[in-house]
Structures are given as structure tokens and as C-alpha cells.
């Protein structure tokens, strides 16, 4: 019989006879057989060569490349399998006469018969055999270049792979190898399906050498009509942006998940085609995508985002998608990784952008800038902080200046950030931070420029938003009391939006951070006091309200509560009366006339108040920026810098105003710079590489920029209207009219008369990101950057020197916000153009602010607004794929591993090496562009290159892994053999020190194979390891056993500790670690079992007498916990499964057997209650068998016209006397007694007139005590009758009282008892129902009372009964 290959491997590895050693836990059977294929041939007997080397009649057993043991098989089958690639030279075989398994390449004669060499070619005249001509390649020869040293090959990553195979099985000597599915399958017509390292399928034709990502048509048909690659498109979708769908004809499409969608393609446009195979190929650089259409870009971003890969690149441009959760991407280790990356290719990251900027500055002395943009909530602030953090860590400084630079963030975020509907920490201003470096390129200081602070937020916020953080922080701080502030909910400017708290924001702690940052930047106590006085004054200014008043015959206003104006005045250091006057009046100055004081209406006074708050806050914010700059100004002259621009992204809201126009104008300018930089960078690449510059086209937004900022443009007209004559309420309309008249023919402008469906005057601008409609209302007012002279002069007279300094000098009356912003922006653009720019585009993944939610349509709009697709278009029109020669050789050198074997590079020149690699692929690459230092190509060439690389990697990796595993295995087995004797001696000694020494010796001997030995331990090593643990555990347990064995085990705690110790000791008792342990363990078992019997047997006996379910459950659990065995436990198990009724019957029986009379009664009552619960419907009052038939009852009155009524009312409350008894009493005397008893019931209940109703109750009780069961049943029936449908609450209550009194004196009798109980349950009030039911049971088992009570005793009896 042939030997088992795996069994032989285990024998060679030194497994013990019991099967506990060898390669236990070494992985799956397939993994072991893979390892076995590289065991040295010298470990087996010499190969057998039957019949003088003729193997044609021999049957063989062999291991194929799929690690499957096959046989017997003749030589013909081996030859066929070898040609098919199912057997290779390093596979193992066995036949009769061999001592063990051998590799084919160890038997040259056999291998020659399996794979005979080709016949020799004819020799040419006078020379060696001629070689076949080299394959004709379509690769153009590279331009000549100087020699470049070839890169060193690196096989480290392949060698490492051998340790990464998952382990899911335990090796045992008896286990046969599990069948392993082949990783590849040769298909019809030579097609073979393969997988890349990323598990992406591709297809290789072994006959023609063709490679493709798409599934071949033949294979598709073979697999039963799998949907083909043709007819797939990117279909626009209102939710996901784009979906991949197959055309069904007309407007119908079907997505990959089978959902049908409908889409009508606009005239003149077509859908982008899609290759479904490309969906599985994700890239961290969008330029590497097969197709750079919007749909493919969105798919790539979405799939990466769902894997927490939030960063992606477009060449050098970074796209950052807000994950809305913390990711471990910003640790010091990550900073060091990007700072010291060298030539390594790392994933996109803000650290890479910051590192590129810093290193470019080191190399070229050109100032750098990083432009971070995106909509609110996209993560601009966090990304900016990450860049600052990286630069601070990498550049450092002499005097810890970088920490002062970082301490700016808490201040600017507190005063410039707020909660919006889109973002809980939204920057409401633009910011350009210059990180200034000294000559040694360390941080020397910083300067900050702010842009377009959102002043309007101070006076108004939308519902669900907040004012600036600092207002809430001060209200919740320890400083609030000093400024007479309460909670933010008490102030109009803070609470009118309905939001004062933000989840995840601790205002108290963040205020402490603000104060700490101010201290680190050198703010004086007086400065901090003045800052917070202004903040406090603004907070309280929002509580100043106004009432209509007549002032000198004109409509005016007055302040409602003068105390609020006093509070504001004290914080601003101004006179309260002057403040009240300035808020409700303004001074008109007309040339040639005296100034006139004009009262303000309520609405005008409110606008005046808000204008003061906004103006003062803007002044404070600008001063803060200046003060921070003063703290961070570098010593000496300004050196080189890295600027970081954190600025608002393009905004398109439902209703847009002046702020959106400024923001979008800023983004137009930045997009213009972005396009120019991208175009310039592309142009520079082609020019430096000497490659023909392909025509690149992109949208030029200069016409839109001119429309807004040129002389006579929108901003100019707006400024002219602000400064020109006219009533304020009419200026907005005038502004709109001027725009329509001047720009109606401008293609970038849409006049107001072309807007439909809106109720306000508006104009639209066709921005690069889309058309935006602007509401003209308040445009002119928002552009004014001034305050009424009365308020300005008042603030200039403040007693606070800080505030007075803010209002020093005359107010610039000709300034406008648009003019100032345009100047600031032009200055910024000039500075940015002097730098080398780097771009980060931040994207908000969803409006819910939740992780792992990707709203495709919103993200698509943001990408369009960010100009990402413009950059993609610029790259797409050229050669988007570009590799330096060295990088190309490093990535694609593996292509040299062909079917014929490895083709070594012949040249040392990198350019020539690239040519050799391309030539060896036998693929067409005629469209590649050869530059001076790099290769440039498009998507078609890139796809083919990646296919070639995937195929070559598949060929090489398996061989490298096999060789590595073989070498490691042989080395490991040798070390195992050397260590085994020492372990055997230690195991026999059973001495702890000797065992530990032996294990330490093994670890030292195995060295780097120690980890390998854990996954495949030798038997002696495992036993010694286990013995060490056992002896240590015995040493720990011996004192505990000794302690608790001799303790007072009557104590519950001592007994429990003994039980716990015995359980722990039991786990190692079978190993017999020491004689002392064995002795103590035996004593402990004896003591424990004796005390357990003593404790549980009596309890168990008592429980079996009562059979209470809870007690049985408790004692059963206790017995199981203490591992106590008793026949009673089986009985308890059976009883726990019976029904409640059956258990009650058994409990009743047990109580009688044990002479427990009271308990028997209780159980009988419970059983009766249970039966009544089950059959309540059978015991309703009208079904009682003791009652008369209603017709008989009605016939008792001989002459009556209302017999039907009497019959129907027999059991219903009535004030009339009974016609006869309710029960079937025949004796006339008894009937008379029954009707009299009913009259007494009516008298007690108040249904008939009675002077002393208590005496009637006593009479009823006396009648019941003296009567038989029929009279008693009659009384209870009469009471139930008077309780049925009784509309009188007093009567009902008295009837229940009398029923209770009756139950306290005599039983209802068996005939009516059950009916009475059901009646009480269904009709009684909750306050007395349970008491009456209980009394009903009790009286049934007690003797009736001897006599009726006296009338005055009835109330006290009811109280005592709990009624």
C-alpha cells in the first residue's frame, strides 16, 4: 500500500507516537502539504529506477500543484499532466520499491521521460545551432540617454508572505489531507481565470497570450448567460449621483442589483460607457482610473469611503472626505512615516501635502501655500489643524514657537466658529495663516489674515443654529458671575434659534482652553477683561427690547426695561442714558442746516441695536487677529513661509444673498488660480520631458470674474448705490434695476424678468459650479460697513480704554464691505500667485453628520463646485499615467517572469531596461511617450501593463513562497532535533527550575523560529510548557487547600472557598504535580463531599415535602452548582415540567400525606382559583343552576301585563320587591323569608326608605345564619342582583359592604360559591376585590358565626377586614 504523504511529513518532523507532537496547529492540510513539497530529498531513501530506467510499466502516486494526492497513474498520465501544468518538477511522487516520497527533479531519468527535451535543430554551415529570431515587438525604441544604475531587486515582501497564510485546522496524525479547490482553472479555448493580489479577476489565454479584464464571451456563455460587458453606462441618479446600469432599451436601465431605473438622456448628450470589470479596481489616485468620467470617480470615492479610506488624490491634489468619526490616521507614528517616507509611495494624506510643501521650500526657497476649501461641515478646520500639526512637529522651533502657533486655534475657533445646520464647528470667516520659517527652516513665527467674518450671525441665527462659541462659553464659565451673566437660554442673541447646547461640545472646558491660549500668547489680564466685557455687553444688548412711542408727534420708540440698557452700558463703559438715546434716535446732518435728532421706529431701533452688536463684534475680532499676529511676529525680517488658506467653499442655498455672492466670487478667483496652476503644472511636465504638448482645454471663468469685479461691474454698481442718494428701503430695487439694464445681454448674467416661481426680486450668475440665484433684498444694507454716528461717538467716549481705542478717530464713511473684500481678495491672490500652491478639497459625505453614509448627489455637487472635474479633465486630455524610468522598472520588472522563465535585464541603463520590460510582454505599446526621465501613457496602456504585472506576479509569487517555506522548514526541523534531548530530560525530572531552563534553552536555540514553533510545536516542548504551568498552579493551590481543609466548614464563606479551590485543583489533579498536592486534594475532596451531603440532603428533604416550584428551582440550581447527585433531583426535573394545576394537585396530596391541614386548605383554595381562572365563562351569574327560570319568575305574579319585563329584569337592580324568590325555593314560608330578606337588602342599600338601614343589614345576616343553603344562596343572589346595572353609586357601595359582612358570617354554599367568586372578580372594585375573594374562600372552610353582630358594630367590622 502506498504511504501517506502527510504522515511521512509528520514522521520526519518528529511527531510522538500518541500523535500529540509533530506539526500540531500548523495550519490547514493544504498548508502542510505545501510545506512538505520542499522538504529536502536527502531525508528519504535513494530514488528507484526500475528496468534500467524504463518507467513505462510503473504505476505512480503523485502530488499535483493543487496539493492533491493522486494515484495510481501510468506514465502517460504523468506526461499529460506535466504538459497541462498540473505537475511541475518540484512536485513529489512515489512508486513501489521507494523508501519515501521524492521530488521529480531529484530523479533526472524519470523527469526526462515525463518531459523529453525537443529534438536538436539543424546546424548552420560552420557554426553553432542558429537561434530563433527575437519576437517582433511594437514597442518603439526609447530615445538615447546616459547610463543609469539599475535598481536593486527587493524580494522581502515575497519572502514575508510565507508567514501570512491563515490557519484554521489542527494537524493530527490520523487526519487525511482535505481536498483543496484549485486556485485557477483552465477553460475552453485556452482561457484561464486568475485573480490579482487584490482578488480582482482577470483572464489570460494560454494559447495566444491575450490578456483582458473583461470575461471572454466563450466563458460567459459557458456560465449560463452571465450579463455581458456591453451596454453598460453611468446613469445620473438623484440620490447616488450616478449608478452603474445596463441599457434595456429606450429610457429603461437595470442596475447591478437588479433594480430598474428610468432616465431620459438630454438632447445632444450621451451617457458615459462603463466596463463592469473596472468597478472592482479602486485607486487612491483618480488619475489611475480606467475612465475619468464623473460616474467612475464617484464610484471610486464611495467604495473607498465605506472602507474608511477617506483620502484620495487627483495627481498632486488631495480630496478629503469627512468621515464623521475619529480615525487613527494622525498619530506621531504617522507623522514620522510621512516625514521620512523617502521614495516610498504612501497613500494620500494631508501630511503628504504638508510634507511636499515643506520639502519643496527646503529645496527651492520658493514660498509655499496650501489651499483648503470645501463647504461647511466638510472638515476644512480639522484638515487645516492637521497640516499645522505636521509642520509644527516636523519643522520645530528654537523657543517652542510652534506650540504658540498651535495655541491660536482655540481662540480663533471660539470667536470665529459657530454651530450651523451643516456643521457643529463651522468656520464663519476665511483665514490665511502664514507659517514663517527662519534661515534654518524652523518655525520663527506666524501671521494670520482673516476674510469676511459673518457679522450677521451676531444678531440672528436660523432655527437649530448657534451664535459664535465664545458667547456660550462665557455664560457657562466660572467668569460668568463676574459679568452678571446667567445661562445662555436667558439671552435673545443666544436662545432665539432654539439651540444653546451642542452634543460633543463642552463649552466650559473649551473656555478654559481659550483662556489658556490667551495666556500662552501673552494677553494681559486687562486685555482679557476688556474682551470679555465686550462679549458680555453684546450678550445683554440682545435683551434690549423696544415699545412704540410718540416722540414730538412722530412715530418713535422707547426701551422696555431700562435696567437692561444699564447692564449693557456698564459693560461697554458708556452712559446708560446716552446709550438709550442713541439706540432710539439718530442725528441727520444736512449741509447748511443744523443737525436734526430723528426718532426711530421700533423696527429701526432693532436694526440699530443689531448694527451696534455686529459692528462692535467685528472690531473685537479684527483686534484679536492683530493681537495674535503681534504675539507671533518673528524677530528680524520676514523669511520664507508656508501659507495655509482655510476658506469657505462655493455656496448654493435655497435663498442666497450678499454673503454668498462674496463667497462665490472668492471661489471664482481661487478656481481661476486652480485651473492656471493645474494647467501650468501639466505644461511644465510635458515641456521638461520633451514630449509633444497635447491640446488641453478647460473652462475659463474670467468672464464671470469680470462681471463681478471689473469697473462698472456688480460690486461697483452696488457701491455706487450705497453711496448715492435715495431712501434706504428703495435702494435694493434701484440696484436690481441697474443690474438688469446693464447686464441683460451678458451670457453670465440672468436678469430678474427671467426668473419664475420666486416671490422676490432676484438675479442669477452662471458660475463655474452652476447657476446661483441671488435675492436682492438687503443687499445694499449688508454692503454698508458703517454705524450711525450717534452710536459710534458714544462708543468712542467709553471709560474703558480698550473699547475707546477701538473707536478712536473718525468713522470711514465711504467704506463698503464689497470694496474692502475685493481689496483683501486681490491682495491674497497676489500673494498666492507668488507661491507654489498645493490643494486640498474637502468634501462633506452626508448631511446627517453620521459615519459610513455617502450621499452621492451631494458629494457630486461639491466635487463640481471644488473644480475637481476640471483638474481631472486637464489630466485626462493629456497623458495621465506617468512613471519615472526607475519607478517603472521597480513596478513592472516582474513582467520579465515569462512562461519560458525569468529573462534577466541585459542593460544597466534604466531607459533601456524599460524597453526590455515592454518588449518581453509581447503586448502593443506603440502609443507610449518616452520623456527625458519618465514614460507617459494613457489608460489603455495602463490596463495592459497591470494585466501583465498581475500575470507575472502570479507566476513568481508561488515559486518564491515554495522555496522560502522549504528553506524555513528544513532549518526549523534541524533546530528541533537539536533541542529535543534537553526537553526530554527536563520532562522526566519534573523539576520546575529544570523545565524553565530547558524552555529558555529551546527559545534561544530556535531564535527567530520561536514564533514558528508556536504554530507548529514539537511534542516535548508542548508537554514541558504544560508541565511548567501545572507545577506553578499546584504551588499556588497547595496553601489554599491546606487553609480551607482545616477551616470551620460550617461557615458558608469557608465552604464556598473550599469548593472554589477544589474546582481549580481538579483541572490539574490528573497530572499529579507533587505528592503533597495529591494528599491535600484527596483530603479536600473528602471534606467537601461530606459537608455538601450535610448541607443539601436536609434541604432537599424539606423541599420534597412542599413541592414549591421556586424552592425546587433554587435547591436544584444549588445542587447542580455544587455537583451534588441525588435521585430527588430527577424527580424535581420531572416536576418542574408539569403544569401549574398538576403541581397544585401534588402539593395538596403531599400536604395531606404529611398532616399539614392548613397547607392542604391553602392549596385547595389555590387549585380552586386556578380552575375558576380557566373556566370563568361557565360560572357567570345567570348560569347558576340554583336560580329560577326567568319565565317562571315572571309567572309568579298571576295578573300582570309586564311579564317579559319582569323576566328580563329578574337579575338586574330594582327598587321593586321580588315577585318570588330568585332561587328555586318551593316552600311558601321560605319564599316569604327570601322576599323579606331582599327588602332588607334594599333597605340597607338605600333603594327603599329606611330610618335605620344598619338594622336591615343585621336582619339579613340573621336570616343567613338561621337559614339553610337555599336561603343563604338567595341572599347572595339578591346582593348580586342589586349590584348588576345599578346606576346609583351609593347603593352599589352599600351592597358590596353588605356582601362582605355576609361573607364574614356565613358561607354562600357550594351551589353558588363559584358563581359568587366570578361575580366579585369581574365586577368588584380593585380596592376590595382581593379581600372579598379571599374571604369567600375562608368562610367556606370555617364554621358560621354564632350570632349576628349589633348594628353599631358593622362599620368597625368592615374597617378591620380591610374593606
Report the distance separating Cα 335 and Cα 442, nearest Å: 17
Angle (CA) 376-377-378 rounded to 5° is 95
172 given a catalytic annotation: no
Clarify whether 427 is annotated catalytic: yes
Annotated catalytic residue: which of 376, 467, 543, 678? 376
Calpha distance 1363→1358 (Å, rounded): 5
The answer to whether the Cα torsion of 385, 387, 390, 395 is positive or negative is negative
SS3 call for 934 = strand
**Catalytic status, residue 678:** no
Q: For the chain, state the CA radius of gyration.
A: 48
Distance, in Å, from the CA atom of 1339 to the CA atom of 756, rounded to the nearest integer, reads 88
Residue 560: phi and psi, rounded to 5, are: -65, -55
**Which are the contacts of 37, defined by CB distance < 8 A and separation ≥ 6?**
63, 67, 90, 91, 92, 103, 962, 966
Partners of residue 448 on adjacent β-strands: 433
Closest CA to 31 of 168, 124, 146: 168
DSSP, collapsed to helix, strand or coil, labels residue 1006 as: helix
CB count within 10 Å of CB 22 equals: 24
381 is catalytic: yes
Instruction: Check 649, 867, 1243, 1257 and give the catalytic one.
Output: 649
Q: Please state, in angstroms and as integers, the Cα–Cα distance from residue 1190 to each residue in 1202, 1205, 1223, 1278, following that order.
A: 13, 10, 10, 14
In terms of C-beta density within 10 A (0-12 exposed, 13-18 middle, 19 or more buried), how is residue 738 classed?
A: middle
Q: Are 687 and 693 a contacting pair, CB within 8 Å? A: yes
Q: Coil, strand, or helix at residue 1126? A: coil
Instruction: Given the residues 35, 381, 533, 1223, select the one marked as catalytic.
Output: 381
Instruction: Indicate which residue of 377, 379, 416, 459 is catalytic.
Output: 377
34 touches 959 (CB < 8 A)? no
Cβ-based neighbour number of residue 127 at 10 Å? 7
Catalytic residue among 102, 651, 890, 946: 651
Instruction: Using alpha carbons only, give the angle 372, 378, 380 rounded to the nearest 5 degrees.
Output: 30
CA distance 406 to 647: 18
Catalytic residue among 28, 426, 467, 1263: 426
649 carries an active-site annotation: yes
Q: What residues contact 1234, with CB distance under 8 A and at least 6 apart?
A: 1218, 1221, 1222, 1223, 1225, 1271, 1274, 1278
Report residue 393 as a C-alpha cell.
512637529
Contacts 24+ apart (CB under 8 A), 336-344: 338/390, 339/390, 339/393, 339/394
User: Distance between CA atoms of 1012 and 969, rounded to whole angstroms?
Assistant: 9
CA nearest to 959, candidates 34, 121, 250? 34
d(CA 652, CA 1326): 65
Residues in the chain: 1363
Question: Does residue 1251 carry a catalytic annotation?
Answer: no
DSSP state, 482? G
Give bridge partners of residue 94 from the DSSP assignment.
Answer: 61
Candidates 229, 300, 427, 536; catalytic one: 427
Separation of alpha carbons 1318 and 1182, rounded Å: 12
Among residues 34, 409, 417, 423, the one annotated as catalytic is 423
Q: Is 1275 helix (H, G, I), strand (E, B) or coil?
A: helix
Q: Which value, to the nearest 10 degrees, does the dihedral of the CA atoms of residues 882, 884, 889, 891 take? A: -50
Q: In whole angstroms, what is the distance from residue 121 CA to residue 580 CA?
A: 113
Residue 49 to residue 56: CA distance in whole angstroms: 11
CA angle 958/960/964 to nearest 5° reads 115
Give the residue among 385, 409, 401 at the shortest CA–CA distance from 442: 401
Residues 6+ apart with CB under 8 A from 7: 173
**103 within 8 A of 41, measured Cβ to Cβ:** yes
Peptide bond into 659 cis (omega under 30): no
Residues taking part in catalysis = 376-377, 381, 423, 426-427, 649, 651
Amino acid at each position: 500500500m502506498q504511504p501517506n504523504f502527510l504522515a511521512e511529513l509528520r514522521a520526519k518532523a518528529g511527531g510522538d507516537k500518541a500523535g500529540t507532537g509533530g506539526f500540531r496547529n500548523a495550519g490547514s492540510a493544504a498548508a502542510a502539504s505545501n510545506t512538505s513539497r520542499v522538504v529536502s530529498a536527502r531525508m528519504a531513501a535513494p530514488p528507484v529506477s526500475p528496468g534500467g530506467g524504463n518507467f513505462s510499466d510503473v504505476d505512480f502516486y503523485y502530488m499535483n500543484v493543487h496539493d492533491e494526492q493522486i494515484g495510481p497513474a501510468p506514465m502517460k498520465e504523468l506526461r499529460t499532466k506535466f504538459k497541462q501544468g498540473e505537475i511541475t518538477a518540484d512536485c513529489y511522487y512515489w512508486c513501489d520499491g521507494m523508501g519515501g516520497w521524492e521530488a521529480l527533479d531529484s530523479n533526472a531519468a524519470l523527469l526526462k521521460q515525463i518531459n523529453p527535451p525537443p529534438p536538436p535543430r539543424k546546424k548552420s554551415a560552420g557554426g553553432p545551432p542558429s537561434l530563433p529570431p527575437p519576437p517582433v515587438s511594437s514597442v518603439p525604441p526609447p530615445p538615447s540617454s546616459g547610463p543609469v544604475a539599475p535598481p536593486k531587486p527587493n524580494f522581502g515582501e515575497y519572502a514575508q508572505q510565507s508567514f501570512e497564510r491563515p490557519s484554521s485546522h489542527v494537524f493530527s496524525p490520523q487526519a487525511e489531507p482535505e481536498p483543496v479547490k484549485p486556485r485557477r482553472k483552465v477553460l475552453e479555448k485556452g482561457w484561464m481565470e486568475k485573480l490579482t493580489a487584490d482578488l480582482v479577476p482577470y483572464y489570460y489565454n494560454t494559447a495566444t497570450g491575450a490578456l483582458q479584464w473583461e470575461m471572454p464571451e466563450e466563458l460567459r456563455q459557458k456560465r449560463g448567460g452571465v450579463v455581458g460587458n456591453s451596454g453598460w453606462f453611468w446613469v445620473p441618479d438623484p440620490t447616488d449621483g450616478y449608478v452603474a446600469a445596463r441599457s434595456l432599451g429606450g429610457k429603461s436601465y437595470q442596475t447591478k442589483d437588479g433594480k430598474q431605473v428610468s432616465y431620459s438622456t438630454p438632447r445632444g448628450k450621451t451617457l458615459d460607457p462603463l466596463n463592469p470589470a473596472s468597478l472592482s479596481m479602486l485607486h487612491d489616485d483618480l488619475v489611475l482610473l480606467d475612465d475619468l468620467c464623473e460616474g467612475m470617480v464617484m464610484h471610486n470615492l464611495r467604495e473607498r469611503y465605506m472602507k474608511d479610506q477617506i483620502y484620495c488624490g487627483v495627481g498632486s491634489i488631495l480630496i478629503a472626505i469627512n468621515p464623521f468619526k475619529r480615525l487613527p490616521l494622525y498619530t506621531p507614528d504617522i507623522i514620522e512615516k510621512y516625514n521620512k517616507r523617502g521614495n516610498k509611495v504612501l497613500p494620500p494624506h494631508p501630511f503628504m501635502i504638508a510634507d511636499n510643501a515643506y520639502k519643496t521650500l527646503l529645496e527651492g526657497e520658493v514660498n509655499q501655500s496650501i489651499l483648503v476649501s470645501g463647504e461647511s461641515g466638510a472638515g476644512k478646520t480639522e484638515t487645516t489643524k492637521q497640516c499645522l500639526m505636521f509642520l509644527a512637529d516636523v519643522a520645530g522651533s528654537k523657543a517652542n514657537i510652534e506650540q504658540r502657533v498651535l495655541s491660536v486655534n482655540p481662540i480663533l475657533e471660539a470667536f470665529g466658529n459657530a454651530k450651523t445646520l451643516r456643521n457643529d464647528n463651522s468656520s464663519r470667516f476665511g483665514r490665511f495663516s502664514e507659517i514663517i520659517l527662519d534661515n534654518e527652516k524652523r518655525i520663527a513665527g506666524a501671521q494670520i489674515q482673516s476674510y469676511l467674518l459673518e457679522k450677521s450671525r451676531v444678531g440672528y441665527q436660523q432655527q437649530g443654529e448657534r451664535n459664535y462659541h465664545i458667547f456660550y462659553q462665557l455664560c457657562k464659565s466660572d467668569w460668568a458671575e463676574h459679568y452678571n451673566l446667567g445661562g445662555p437660554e436667558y439671552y435673545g442673541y443666544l436662545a432665539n434659534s432654539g439651540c444653546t447646547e451642542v452634543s460633543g461640545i463642552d463649552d466650559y472646558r473649551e473656555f478654559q482652553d481659550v483662556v489658556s491660549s490667551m495666556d500662552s500668547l501673552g494677553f494681559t489680564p486687562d486685555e482679557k477683561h476688556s474682551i470679555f466685557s465686550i462679549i458680555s455687553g453684546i450678550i445683554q444688548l440682545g435683551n434690549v427690547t423696544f415699545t412704540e412711542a410718540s416722540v414730538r408727534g412722530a412715530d418713535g420708540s422707547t426701551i422696555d426695561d431700562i435696567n437692561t440698557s444699564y447692564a449693557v452700558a456698564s459693560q461697554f463703559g458708556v452712559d446708560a442714558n446716552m446709550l438709550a438715546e442713541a439706540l432710539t434716535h439718530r442725528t441727520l446732518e444736512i449741509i447748511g442746516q443744523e443737525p436734526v435728532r430723528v426718532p426711530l421706529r421700533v423696527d429701526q431701533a432693532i436694526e440699530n441695536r443689531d448694527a451696534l452688536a455686529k459692528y462692535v463684534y467685528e472690531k473685537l475680532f479684527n483686534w484679536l487677529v492683530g493681537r495674535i499676529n503681534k504675539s507671533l511676529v518673528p524677530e528680524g525680517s520676514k523669511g520664507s513661509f508656508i501659507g495655509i488658506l482655510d476658506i469657505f467653499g462655493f455656496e448654493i442655498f435655497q435663498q442666497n444673498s450678499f454673503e454668498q455672492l462674496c463667497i462665490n466670487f472668492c471661489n471664482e478667483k481661487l478656481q481661476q488660480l486652480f485651473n492656471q496652476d493645474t494647467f501650468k503644472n501639466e505644461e511644465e511636465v510635458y515641456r521638461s520631458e520633451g514630449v509633444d504638448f497635447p491640446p488641453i482645454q478647460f473652462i475659463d471663468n474670467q468672464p464671470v470674474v469680470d462681471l463681478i469685479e471689473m469697473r462698472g461691474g456688480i460690486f461697483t454698481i452696488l457701491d455706487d448705490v450705497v453711496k448715492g442718494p435715495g431712501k434706504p428701503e428703495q435702494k435694493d430695487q434701484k440696484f436690481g434695476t441697474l443690474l438688469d439694464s446693464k447686464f441683460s445681454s451678458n451670457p453670465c448674467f440672468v436678469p430678474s424678468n427671467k426668473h419664475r416661481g420666486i416671490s422676490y426680486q432676484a438675479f442669477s450668475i452662471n458660475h463655474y459650479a452652476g447657476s446661483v440665484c441671488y435675492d436682492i433684498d438687503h443687499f445694499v444694507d449688508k454692503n454698508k460697513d458703517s454705524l450711525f454716528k450717534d452710536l459710534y461717538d458714544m462708543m468712542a467716549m467709553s471709560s474703558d480704554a480698550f473699547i475707546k481705542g477701538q473707536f478712536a478717530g473718525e468713522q470711514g464713511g465711504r467704506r463698503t464691505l464689497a470694496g474692502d473684500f475685493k481689496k483683501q481678495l486681490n491682495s491674497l491672490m497676489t500673494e498666492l500667485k507668488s507661491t507654489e500652491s498645493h490643494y486640498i478639497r474637502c468634501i462633506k459625505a452626508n448631511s446627517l453628520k453620521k459615519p459610513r453614509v455617502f450621499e452621492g448627489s451631494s458629494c457630486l455637487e461639491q466635487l463640481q463646485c471644488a473644480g475637481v472635474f476640471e483638474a481631472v479633465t486637464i489630466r485626462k486630455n493629456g497623458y495621465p499615467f506617468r512613471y519615472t524610468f526607475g519607478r517603472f522598472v521597480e513596478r513592472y520588472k516582474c513582467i520579465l517572469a515569462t512562461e519560458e522563465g525569468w529573462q534577466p535585464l541585459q542593460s544597466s541603463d534604466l531607459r533601456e531596461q524599460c524597453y526590455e520590460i515592454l518588449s518581453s510582454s509581447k503586448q502593443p505599446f506603440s502609443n507610449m511617450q518616452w520623456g527625458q526621465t519618465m514614460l507617459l501613457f494613457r489608460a489603455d496602456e495602463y490596463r495592459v501593463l497591470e494585466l501583465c504585472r498581475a500575470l507575472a506576479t502570479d507566476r513568481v509569487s508561488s515559486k518564491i513562497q515554495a522555496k522560502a517555506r522549504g528553506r524555513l522548514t528544513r532549518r526549523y526541523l534541524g533546530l528541533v532535533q537539536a533541542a529535543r534531548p534537553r526537553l526530554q530530560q527536563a520532562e522526566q525530572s519534573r523539576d520546575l527550575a529544570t523545565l524553565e531552563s530547558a524552555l529558555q534553552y529551546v527559545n534561544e536555540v530556535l531564535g527567530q523560529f520561536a514564533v514558528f514553533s508556536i504554530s507548529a510545536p514539537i511534542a516535548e516542548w508542548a508537554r514541558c510548557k504544560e508541565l511548567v504551568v501545572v507545577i506553578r498552579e499546584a504551588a499556588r493551590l497547595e496553601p489554599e487547600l491546606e487553609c480551607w481543609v482545616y477551616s470551620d466548614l460550617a461557615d458558608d464563606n469557608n465552604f464556598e472557598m473550599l469548593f472554589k479551590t477544589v474546582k481549580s485543583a481538579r483541572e490539574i489533579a490528573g497530572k499529579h504535580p507533587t505528592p503533597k498536592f495529591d494528599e491535600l486534594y484527596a483530603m479536600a475532596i473528602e471534606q467537601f463531599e461530606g459537608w455538601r451531603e450535610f448541607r443539601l440532603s436536609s434541604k432537599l428533604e424539606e423541599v420534597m415535602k412542599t413541592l414549591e416550584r421556586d424552592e425546587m428551582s433554587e435547591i436544584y440550581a444549588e445542587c447542580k452548582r455544587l455537583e451534588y447527585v441525588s435521585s430527588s433531583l430527577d424527580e424535581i426535573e420531572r416536576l418542574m415540567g408539569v403544569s401549574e394545576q398538576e403541581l397544585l394537585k401534588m402539593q395538596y396530596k403531599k400536604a395531606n400525606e404529611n398532616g399539614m391541614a392548613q397547607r392542604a386548605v391553602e392549596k385547595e383554595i389555590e387549585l380552586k382559583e386556578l380552575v375558576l381562572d380557566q373556566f370563568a365563562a361557565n360560572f357567570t351569574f345567570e348560569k347558576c343552576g340554583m336560580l329560577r327560570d326567568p319565565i317562571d319568575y315572571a309567572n309568579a305574579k298571576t295578573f300582570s301585563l309586564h311579564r317579559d319585563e319582569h323576566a328580563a329584569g329578574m337579575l338586574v337592580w330594582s327598587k321593586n320587591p321580588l315577585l318570588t324568590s330568585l332561587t328555586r325555593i318551593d316552600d311558601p314560608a321560605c319564599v316569604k323569608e327570601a322576599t323579606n330578606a331582599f327588602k332588607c337588602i334594599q333597605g340597607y342599600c338605600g333603594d327603599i326608605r329606611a330610618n335605620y338601614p344598619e338594622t336591615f343589614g343585621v336582619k339579613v345576616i340573621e336570616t343567613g345564619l338561621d337559614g339553610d343553603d337555599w336561603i343563604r344562596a338567595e341572599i347572595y343572589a339578591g346582593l348580586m342582583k342589586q349590584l348588576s346595572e345599578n346606576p346609583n353609586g351609593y347603593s352599589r357601595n352599600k351592597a358590596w359592604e353588605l356582601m362582605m359582612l355576609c361573607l364574614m358570617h356565613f358561607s354562600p354554599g357550594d351551589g353558588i360559591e363559584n358563581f359568587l367568586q366570578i361575580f366579585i372578580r369581574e365586577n368588584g372594585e380593585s380596592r376590595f376585590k382581593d379581600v372579598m375573594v379571599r374571604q369567600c374562600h375562608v368562610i367556606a372552610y370555617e364554621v358560621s358565626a354564632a350570632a349576628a353582630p349589633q348594628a353599631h358594630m358593622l362599620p368597625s367590622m368592615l374597617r378591620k377586614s380591610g374593606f
